Each structure stands twice: as structure tokens, then as C-alpha cells.
A and B are shown apart, each in its own frame.
Chain A
Amino acid sequence: MPILSYLVLPQDGAMDQLCSDLSSMEYCEIIPADNQEVVVLVTDTPDDKVEETLQETLKNLPSLQSFSMTYGHNAV
């Protein structure tokens, strides 16, 4: 049951779009920064397969510029 966190950067000017995209996605919780265009994303997925699919979806989000993992834990 993987739990991971990422720092996510939006495309230029797409901060709001990114926030609404991410918060509507399953398994995702966000903490947007209030003074910079950075979002902390915490994901909590039921298994590795779902986790991989989620990462694929993130990569292909148009509002997302880049994301880097800051924490990974496979909680059983």
C-alpha cells in the first residue's frame, strides 16, 4: 500500500488548473504553497500497479510541468 509524496510544478500560469486537476484525482491529496507556484502531492494507493498507473497519469497531465518524489513508503 504505497504512500508517496512529490513536489509538483505547474506549467506557466497553470497553477489553479493543476490544483483542481490533482485534487479531483483519486488517491491524491494536495497542499498548495501560498506564495509560490509549487504543490505538495501526497498519494495513497492500494497497490503497486495502481501506483504505477497513477504516475503515468501524472506524467501526462497537461497542467503539470514536472514532479519529483520526496518520500516513498510501502505501508502494509
Chain B
Amino acid sequence: MKLNRRSFIKSAAAGSAIAAAGSIFPGISFANWKEQTGSAGQITWKKAPCRFCGTGCGVLVGVSGDRAVAVKGDPNCSVNKGLCCVKGFHVVQALYGKDRLRTAKVRRGGKMVEVPVSEALDIIAAKMKQTIKETGKDSVAMYGSGQWTIPDGYVASKLFKGCIGTNNVEANARLCMASAVTGFLTSFGTDEPMGCYEDIEHADVFVTWGNNMAEMHPVLFSRMLASRKRRGNVEIIDLATRSTRSSQASDKSILFKPNTDLAVANAICYEIIRNDWVNWDFVKKHTTFHKGKTNIGYGTEDHFKFKDAPEDISFEEYKEFLSDYTPKKVEKISGVSARDIKYLASLYGDPSKKCTSFWCMGMNQHVRGTWINNLVYNIHLLTGKISTPGNSPFSLTGQPSACGTVREVGTLTHKLPHGVVMKEAHRKMAAEIWDVPLTNIDPKPTYHTVEMFRALDRGDIRFIWIQVTNPMITMPNLTRYRNGALKDDRFIVVSDVYPTPTTDVADVVLPAAMWVEQEGMYGNSERRTQHFDRIVPGPGETMSDTWQIIEVARRLGYEKQFPWGEDEYIGKIWEEYRRFHDSPKHNMAPYDVLKKRSGVQWPFVDGKETRWRFNSKYDPACKPGSEFDFYGKKDGKAWIWARPYEPAAESPDDEYDFWLNTGRVIEHWHTGTMTRRVPVLHRAVPESYVEIHPEDAMNLGVTNGEMVKIISRRGEVTMKASIDGRGKPPRGMVFVPFFDESYKINEVTLDAFCPISKQPDYKKCAVRLEKA
């Protein structure tokens, strides 16, 4: 702890003298003293959302002088009520790694040379102009992040879609939440959860579907544990492909074979119908039945295209469809006993039990991610357990602002802040608010993330600007995309805070302000927008990502669209952005309300937050007189989808006989660029490893800590084995945390994706193991 004790005492000494003077010499003033206040010795606390996961805990950043020195949980934030996790409690230390990027760099003659930031911005703008002139507007691209603040994403979208006129805007949330989005859109016609975290205190049954919530949304998991302890009749069931801390904490841990969650969900629906646990009143009034295409492919080829063809079906047809998914049949495919399936169904089907399902990457990073999202919604729709306190199919978000920025601002190739590029009415609204000609906005989407990096490899994209993300670690089938970025005639601009494998391939590196070194807002899983001030200054020439984009936009000639001054731009951007969402279905709180409160949920209507959507008791956007109004769909009814089980893109076979699963650990965030520079976190988990079942390890001849080679058709990685560690895969599966850039596990994974959402499946591909 480096708080300067001497200066603290000295300011106490001065304070005493001044106090004494005040009583001896009335009216005396020491203007100089004001400069001393706030210098070392006194801590002021300012609110912010945590930098890390999609839970969106509120923290109080302790500031002394111009440094962040401590953290407290924000007791006023309803999300975490003053508690954090180990990452949150040390989040301020992530600002102070020794190799923080402080200056801009440009690649000249093969070496990175330091240049003033203004020169780097000139180079970027010039290169963009040149590239657009030579190879067209669709040869420049922007790749952002679910860790972008809302203003970051907004100005990126405005510049690229509104001014330059290209839909080459994507964000890494495509890799984490796209299936959740398409799940919402296909089932409900509108994005984002209908419940809120308050569901946790009301639910009697929790089912975690393929997500290790104890490590990944720990503060929410603690709320579940506290509720279970307090109420005594709460059950937590962990449904997963491997045993984790969440399995340890649950009342029942059920393992299923990878990708068979589709079959299990359908089997639960089969049981619900067979036992007549269907809430007929709800189903008849508020749902319709549909099916789509099957055998929809895996997207591993360039230019892969898929368009679904939804059809209406009857309930009888749906029931007939489910006859393939009896518990006995599903037991054979999935490894889940018929008994357990029936048990799960009985919990969902019991009208007296409030059920909350939580899921995240297990269901989203899935070649049928959209489908499995639909199927879990089916369970809640058949039983009518939705949009009421405690009854909640809750799609958790991974990143702090995948909701707030990527989904709500719409930084994806087909989206606009309101609606999609394909619809003229939506383009008209954007053109008006952005003050650009309607013809600027291209009605055709271009590339989703995987295809965007394929385009970069092919040369269809020549310029890409990457902000707040590390694709040179996170792209699946990584070798192809890294080689693509390294080709001649590809200009890569990277804004980041630390050197990463992505800055290693950059032609220009911009030093970015990090988290509370800039003003901004994040939006978390439960539709809560949280504002934070600029609390501490950034080092060197660091500049907020928002301002970087504004500077380049002005150099490209768009001063009119980006007119704001540096002291007011965030507030002005927010008020402009809000206009897109002006409706009771989506209204965002005004700037001054956001500044005051520790997070405000949207829709924010008449000064009140809508906690449960589509339920007319809580949601003013519902049609008056209707009990439930799923107003994302034209007829106000939610869709129940018949989606079949289809296997993974690459299952184990004779040659590659193991499943490879990847994910995180609680201590590390994503690619570890921030958390590894926090001493406590690095010292807890300094290196990545591969989890192997003890019997598999024995067959391999490997003990804990020995090196294992993991080989797939695409690449290989050699790393240490972890046996009986905190996670235990079943036989025939291995698990690797992806935070360690020394072990690029994505060189081994496969870039297959859900054809509807285009989100890659990081949880399943085939590998073989060798003792190294």
C-alpha cells in the first residue's frame, strides 16, 4: 500500500493550524489551502460500473490526488449492493501496469516508431481516404467491442454507417452474444431480457444451462446462494458439459454430451406436454407455433449464406415433432438419464414453483445457438413462466456493455441505433438524427465478424480499425486470420491500453484511455445503463476511443456531424443517441438522471424503470387491457419454435477423439490483458492449463503439471495438464482457459458458427492429445 502517510499527517497538521487561525482571526482565508485538499492523504469516492463482466456491479473508485487507490462495492447499486468479486475488488489496479501504452506508434521500415498522437490520427485519416478512393468504401472496416462505452460505439456507427456509408461495422459481441440476440428476435421480435436481477430473490428453482455462473457472474451467483440459504426451499440445478464450481455449489449437477442441450430442452417440453403441465390459458392467448429450416450448415466456408424460412405450424404438429424427443430416446443421445430429464421437467411444470433459467456462453457460442435459445424460451412459454418476478428465462451477458453498446447502439453490420439498415423507415430516422443524406446509409449488410476477417484475408477489406478487443487471440481458427492481417496491403489500426498480440500486427497503435480515465456509460445484462465520470487522468497521450474517432471523422471532413467540444461531448452524444430510442418500449433515461443514480434500467418511462417487460402490470408499453403483450411481434404473441437436435460441426472421431472446450476462470478476464497485470489475479492463476479427466490422463501417461500436446486439424498447442483442479471435464473432453497469450488455444479451434446468428462455437471441436 503506497498511500503517503507523511503527507496525510502534514495535511492534518496544516488543517489544525488553519482551524486554530479561524478561531483566533475571524474571517481569515487561506486560498492556497484549497489546492492542498485532495492531495495525498484524503480519498474521495466516485461511482462507476465495474470494468469487467456483464453483471455490471457498481463500484466506488477511491481517488487520492490523481490516482485511483482503492475500491469499494457501491452499496447504492441494486445489482451487487456493495459486494464485488476478486476482479472487481482490484479493478483499479488494472490501470497501472508498467507497460501501459502512453504514446502512439507507427510502423516504419518494419519497426514501431513513437509519434505524437495527432500525427498518428493524420496518418489514419489519410490512409482511410486513400483506401476508400482506391478500393471503395466497403474496403474499410471498424471492429469494436462489447467493452466499448456507449458513446464509443455511437460515434463509430455514425462515422462508418452514416458518413462514410459502409456497413463494415462489427464488434466482438458477435462472438459472445449474437445467438442470444437472434434468439430474442426470433422468439419475441425484440432484443434483451424481459426480466431483471430481482428475479433471483423470487425464484424457487434455478437452472444454469451450460454456464459456470459461480465463476463468471459470481455476484449474481452469490445472490442465488444467499436466497437458497435464507429461504430454505430453493433448488439450484447445474446443467453442463463439465463439472465446475457451479456444479459443486448446486443441489444437483447434470452432465450432458456437447450439443445435446437441444435434445434435452425438447425432451423437457415433451414431458411438459405429456403430463399436461402446459399453461393453456397463456399458450392460447400469448403464443404461436412455428418451424424453420433444418440441416442449416456450419459456416466454415467463405461467403457462407443462410436465410431461414419460418412457417406457421399447429400445436399438433409441434407435439408430433417432439415425439422424437422422449426422455428415453434423448437419454441415448445426451447421456442425461430419463429420470433427470423428467425431474427437470417436473420442476418447470410445477405451477407452484417459480423457475429462472440462466445461460451465457454455453448456449450462445453454439453452432445452433439461436435454436437452443429458442428451445429454452419454449419451456418458459409452454408453462407461462415468463415476465413475472421469479419466472425468468434470463440470457446473461458476458461483457460490461455488449447490451449497452453493441446491441442497443447497433454496432453490427445490419443494425442501426434503431432498427436495421434494410428497412427504409429506420434509415430515414438515422439520416435525420445524424444529419446525413439518406442515400449515405447502405441498405445492404456486408460482413459479420468471421466473414469480416475472412474478407481481410482475401483482400476485400484493406483497412481495419480495431478498438478495445484482441482478435489476434480470440478469432477461432486463429492462424488463418492472423496471417490475413499480416499480409501486405492490409492496414491495421489498433486502439488499446496494453501491448497485445493484436497491437503486434498493427500499422498504427493509438494509446487509449481506459475505463474511468474517460467519461462514458455501460449497459449491463438487465438493461441497466450506468454512467461514470472521468475520475482519474490517463497517462501520457492516451485519448478516449470516442475522441479518437471524432478526431479522425473531422479530418475526413465530417466536422458538422461531430461538432462537440471536449468538455461536453459525452452528454451531447447521449442526448442525440437517446432520440433513437424515444418510445415506451425503449426509452433511455436523460443524462442528468444517469449521472446521479447508480444505474438506471430502460425502458425509462415517466421517471420509472420497467423491471419486467411484456407484462402489463409492470410495462407501460403493453397494449392496455392485455395481460401480456409481446409487442416485438406484430400480433403481440411470442413464438414457440420447433427446432431439432443437430450435432456439432466437428465431433470427435477415430483420429481426433477428444472434445476441446474453452472458457474462462474467475480471476481472468478474456485475453488477460488487464487482469494479468493485476498482481493478486496473476498470482492466483499465472498460467493457463488444460483440464483432463484423471483416467484419460492416466491413459495418456500424464500427471498434474506435465506437458500435453493438443492437436486439431488446424493447429496445435502444448501446455500443462491440470487434473482434479477447479474444473473437471468428463472422459473424452478437455478444457482450456483462453486468457494466456502464450497458449493461443484458438489456433486449435474451428470457425464454425450458428448460421442464423453467425456466432462461432468455441466450446466444441475435435482434438487428439499426446504426452509432450
Contacts and interface: CB of A to CB of B under 8 A. Distances in A.
- A–B contact with Cβ pairs below 8 Å: the answer is yes
Contacts of A4: 13
Interface in B337-379: none
Contacts, number: 70
Name the 5 nearest CB pairs between A and B, nearest first.
A5-B13, A71-B16, A5-B17, A40-B17, A70-B17
A35 B28 CA distance: 6
A43 B21 CA distance: 17
A14 interface: no
Nearest to A34: B31
A38 interface: yes
Contacts of B564: none
Interface string B22-52: 0011011111110010000000000000000
Contacts of B17: 5-7, 31, 40-42, 70-71
Interface in A46-76: 70-71, 73, 75
B14 A75 contact: no
Contacts of B24: 7
B392 to A, nearest CB: 56
A73 B28 CA distance: 25
A3 B9 contact: yes
Given A7-B20, A70-B16, A42 B10 contact: yes
Given A3-B9, A7-B24, A70-B20, A34 B29 contact: yes
A4 B9 CA distance: 9
Interface in B78-99: none
A1 B29 CA distance: 29
Contact of A42 (B5, B13, B19): B13
Interface of A: 1, 3-7, 29, 31-36, 38, 40-42, 44, 70-71, 73, 75
B6 interface: yes
Given A34-B31, A35-B28, 20 more contacts: A3-B6, A5-B16, A5-B17, A29-B10, A31-B18, A32-B30, A33-B29, A33-B30, A34-B29, A35-B27, A36-B25, A36-B27, A36-B28, A38-B21, A42-B17, A44-B10, A70-B13, A70-B16, A71-B13, A73-B13
A32 B5 contact: no
Contacts of A33: 21, 25, 28-30
B12 interface: yes
Contacts of A31: 14, 17-18, 30, 32-33, 36
A37 to B, nearest CB: 9
A44 B6 contact: yes
Nearest to A35: B29
A34 to B, nearest CB: 5
A56 B9 CA distance: 23
A73 B9 contact: yes
A4 B10 CA distance: 8
10 contacts: A1-B6, A3-B9, A4-B13, A31-B30, A35-B27, A40-B21, A71-B12, A71-B16, A71-B17, A75-B6
Nearest to A40: B17
Nearest to B26: A36
- Which secondary structure dominates where chain A touches chain B? strand
Contacts of A1: 6
Contacts of B29: 33-35
A31 B9 CA distance: 16
Contacts of B30: 31-34, 40
B252 to A, nearest CB: 58
B25 A38 contact: yes
A41 B13 CA distance: 9
Contacts of A73: 9, 12-13
A31 B20 CA distance: 14
A32 B32 contact: yes
B150 to A, nearest CB: 43
B21 to A, nearest CB: 6
Interface string B696-721: 00000000000000000000000000
Contact of A7 (B6, B10, B21, B33): B21
B33 A3 contact: no
Interface in B733-748: none
A40 B31 CA distance: 12
A71 B312 CA distance: 83
B131 to A, nearest CB: 57
Contacts of A34: 29-32
Contacts of A41: 17
A38 B16 CA distance: 14
Contacts of A6: 17
A40 B18 contact: yes
Contacts of A5: 13-14, 16-17
A25 B315 CA distance: 92
Interface in B461-503: none
B5 A75 contact: yes
Most buried by B among A31, A35, A75: A31
Most buried by B among A6, A33, A38, A41: A33
A75 B5 CA distance: 9
Contacts of A40: 14, 17-18, 21, 30
B135 to A, nearest CB: 63
Interface in B140-185: none
Interface string B660-701: 000000000000000000000000000000000000000000
Nearest to B8: A75
A68 B20 CA distance: 10
Nearest to A44: B10
Contacts of B5: 75
B31 A3 contact: no
A6 B36 CA distance: 17
Contacts of A32: 30, 32
A67 to B, nearest CB: 10
Contacts of B12: 71, 73
Contacts of A71: 12-13, 16-17
A5 B11 CA distance: 10
A34 B34 CA distance: 12
Contacts of A38: 21, 25, 28
Contacts of B9: 3, 73, 75
Nearest to A73: B9
A17 B703 CA distance: 78
A42 B456 CA distance: 64
A33 B14 CA distance: 12
A3 to B, nearest CB: 5
A5 B20 CA distance: 11
Contact of A3 (B10, B18, B25): B10
A8 B325 CA distance: 90
Contacts of A42: 10, 13-14, 17
A35 to B, nearest CB: 6
Contacts of A75: 5-6, 9
Nearest to B16: A71
Most buried by A among B5, B13, B14: B13
A60 B234 CA distance: 79
A8 B13 CA distance: 14
Nearest to B20: A70
